[in-house]
Amino acid sequence: MAAKSSLKTPKGTRDWVGGDLLLRDHIFTVLERHGGTPLDTPVFELGSILSEKYGEESRLIYNLADQGGEACSLRYDLTVPFARWLSMRSDVQHIRRYQIAKVYRRDQPAVARGRLREFYQCDFDIAGVYDPMIPDAEILCIIVEVFEALEIGVGVKINHRNILDGLFEVAGVPADRIRATSSAVDKLDKAPWDEVRQELLGKGLTEEVVDRVGGYVQRRGGMREMFASLGSDAELAAKKTLMEGVADMELLASYLEAMGVVDKVSFDLSLARGLDYYTGLIYEVVVDGTNQPTQVGSIAAGGRYDDLVGMYGRRPLPCVGISFGVDRIFTILDARRKKKSSSNLRGQAEVYIMAFGGKEFEGLLLERMRVARQLSGAGIRAEFSAKVKPKPLQQFNASEGVPVAVMLGQDELEAGQVRVKCLHVGDKDAAKDKGQLIPRENLVDEVRRLVAGTP
């Protein structure tokens, strides 16, 4: 038997119930609208599938215990399982897929800010060989449309791995410190430059190199303006991979202009993304508003990862995609919605079946059951009191929130009639409304009409 003190969910996890789940479902519905092919993968993968994909973050992977058989780990994101699936399905040359599922990270949880150890991600990815930057532009367009639909004001920060790595090389960062420099720079959205500067010095870079890095990565601005600034620097302009990155970004900008979303996007040279597998464009979505920009961190992020599928040894396949942080989006929308009754645990019954009678009232339970079965057989969600002889007040209380009532009485039943009524119409006349008496055989049609007419 469990001790009382251990009656809880594991650290960093939570239960979801009632109204909270309905809000989460609303988020899913918006995300699904951008569709593509749905994919669902197992919650755990072979350990070898996940290894060497996440760099430093690998220490946060949950492993299953060795109980004999294969070594397995809980999925850390939805990108690596998608790449694994693409490697196995070599018949798939082009696909737009989406997946909504929980992922697992042994991180320090901060539940109030929507940071959990078990959390939902929604991923949308485009895999296949296409003309440059067209799928990338589509993904950015989807990001903008999703947050428009959710009515959350956001900005999308973008950068390009080739540009970032090129800048570091020009600044004099040794090749073996590029990723470490990148991950230090990525903290610039939460920490001031001085702090990042100290970290870089601690990694063995010289003051001169660090200050050149600082000069580059603190630039940000509109896309066109940034291209001009990068192109006018002779040292940068001589760096081939860097200028290829700039050319990608210029093409992207023209597409974003055509799609009318370019004003949502800013070019931010400090954006680096921690994960190892990105190879080109990278992006991160942050909530508008200067007073609480980092409270929930980024609420969506992604990029291009052209080499990940090839790492499984069967064939290369370029991909680009986005992960939406469903729980962080939930935290924002939840804070905004009007607080309803704290225990919003009612189901969604459409009809409540009651029975009333005089002194010798026997409860009419079998009749209530017959009517319930008739209605639910017709696809109408019906409930009734699970008491043999329920009191009128008990039945009215139990019907709270249900739009329609069917009321049974012995005399009326004997005359082949039942009473139907709209509940909670919200004005004073409601109490006086006795509903209407209808022939028993019209019950399903009449209830359907009333349910359809209620808000």
Looking at residue 274, the DSSP 8-state letter turns out to be: S
- Distance between CA atoms of residues 351 and 118, nearest Å: 37
Single out the residue of 26, 33, 190, 449 in contact with a second copy (rule: CB under 8 A).
33
Q: Which is nearer to a second copy, 158 or 380 (CB)?
A: 380
Tokens in use for 179?
A: 């990723």
What mask of x and - would describe binding to a second copy in positions 88 to 117, judged by CB under 8 A? x--xx--xxx----x-x-x-----------
Structure tokens at 328: 């962080």
Question: Where would I find the beta strands (DSSP E) of 183-257?
Answer: 220-221
Among 46, 191, 415, 425, binds a second copy (CB under 8 A): 46
Nearer to a second copy, 202 or 347 (CB): 347
**Per-residue string for binding with a second copy, 328-347, x by CB under 8 A?**
---------------x-xxx
Encoding tokens for residue 203?
């990694």
Distance CA 360, CA 413 (A): 16
Is 121 annotated among the ligand-binding residues?
Answer: yes
Binding mask 48-67 for a second copy (x = CB under 8 A): xx-xx---------xxxxxx
| The one-letter amino acid at 4 | K
Q: Is 79 annotated as a binding residue?
A: yes
Contact with a second copy (CB under 8 A) among 107, 148, 250, 307 = 148
CB atoms within 10 A of CB 434: 9
Min CB(275)–a second copy separation in Å? 17
Using CB under 8 A as the binding rule, the residues of this chain from 342 to 381 that contact a second copy are: 343, 345-349, 365-367, 369-370, 372-373, 376-377, 379, 381
Q: Give min distance, CB of 352 to a second copy, in A.
A: 13
Q: Give whichever of 17 and 201 is closer to a second copy, judged by the CB atom.
A: 17
* Shorter beta-carbon distance to a second copy: residue 204 or 260: 260
Site for a second copy in 162-201 (CB under 8 A): none
For residue 421, give the DSSP letter: E
What's the closest the beta carbon of residue 136 comes to a second copy, in angstroms?
Answer: 10
Q: Where are the beta strands (DSSP E) in 332-394?
A: 351-356, 382-384
**Sequence-distant (≥ 6) Cβ neighbours of residue 204 within 8 angstroms:** 177
Min CB(19)–a second copy separation in Å: 9
What is the spatial distance between Cα 259 and Cα 140, in angstroms, rounded to a whole number?
10
**Residue of 89, 76, 18 whose CA lies nearest to 47:** 76
Count other C-beta atoms under 10 Å from residue 14's C-beta: 16
Residue 373 is assigned to a ligand binding site:
no
Nearer to a second copy, 138 or 165 (CB): 138
Contact 309, 90 (CB under 8 A): no
331 marked as part of a ligand binding site: no
Decide: helix, strand or coil at residue 116. Answer: coil
**Euclidean distance between CA atoms 159 and 223, whole angstroms:** 10
The one among 79, 105, 115, 118 contacting a second copy by CB under 8 A = 118
Rounded distance, CA 242 to CA 225, Å?
16
What Å distances lie between residue 286 and 23, 65, 153, 337, 418, CA to CA?
Answer: 21, 37, 9, 20, 57
DSSP state of 36: -
Residue 410 CB, shortest distance to a second copy, in Å, is 16
Tell me the C-alpha distance between 302 and 150, whole Å.
19
Q: Please list, in sequence order, all residues whose beta carbon lies within 8 angstroms of the beta carbon of residue 152, skipping any fewer than 6 positions away.
A: 287, 299, 329, 332, 333
What does the per-residue mask of binding to a second copy show for 384-423, with x meaning CB under 8 A? Answer: --xxx-----------------------------------
**54 assigned ligand-binding residue:** no
Cα(173)–Cα(356) distance, rounded to whole angstroms? 83
Work out how close the CB of 403 gets to a second copy at its nearest, in angstroms, rounded to a whole number: 14
Q: Please identify, using beta-carbon distances, which residue of 120 and 267 lies nearer to a second copy.
A: 120
Judged by beta carbon, residue 66 or residue 429, the one nearer a second copy is: 66
- What mask, x for binding a second copy by CB under 8 A, covers residues 246 to 275? --------xx--xxxx--------------
Query: In the bound complex, what is the minimum distance in angstroms from residue 18's beta carbon to a second copy?
Result: 5
Segment near a second copy (CB under 8 A); pick from 4-12, 294-302, 352-360, 426-434:
4-12
Give whichever of 120 and 216 is closer to a second copy, judged by the CB atom: 120
**Is 13 or 410 the residue whose CB approaches a second copy more closely?**
13
Which part of the chain contacts a second copy (CB under 8 A), choosing from 135-143, 175-183, 191-199, 424-432?
A: 135-143
Write the binding mask 13 to 32 for a second copy: x where contact by CB under 8 A, - elsewhere.
xxxxxx--xx----------
Alpha carbons 225 and 354: distance in angstroms, whole number: 70
Q: Is 394 annotated as a binding residue?
A: no
DSSP string, 187-219: GGGTS-HHHHHHHHHHTT--HHHHHHHHHHHT-
b/e per residue 90-128 (b: at least 16 CB within 10 A): eeeeebbbbbbbbbbbeeebeeeebbbbbbbbbbbbbbe
Known binding-site positions for L-histidine: 77-79, 105, 121, 125, 273, 277-278
Binding-site residue ranges: 77-79, 105, 121, 125, 273, 277-278
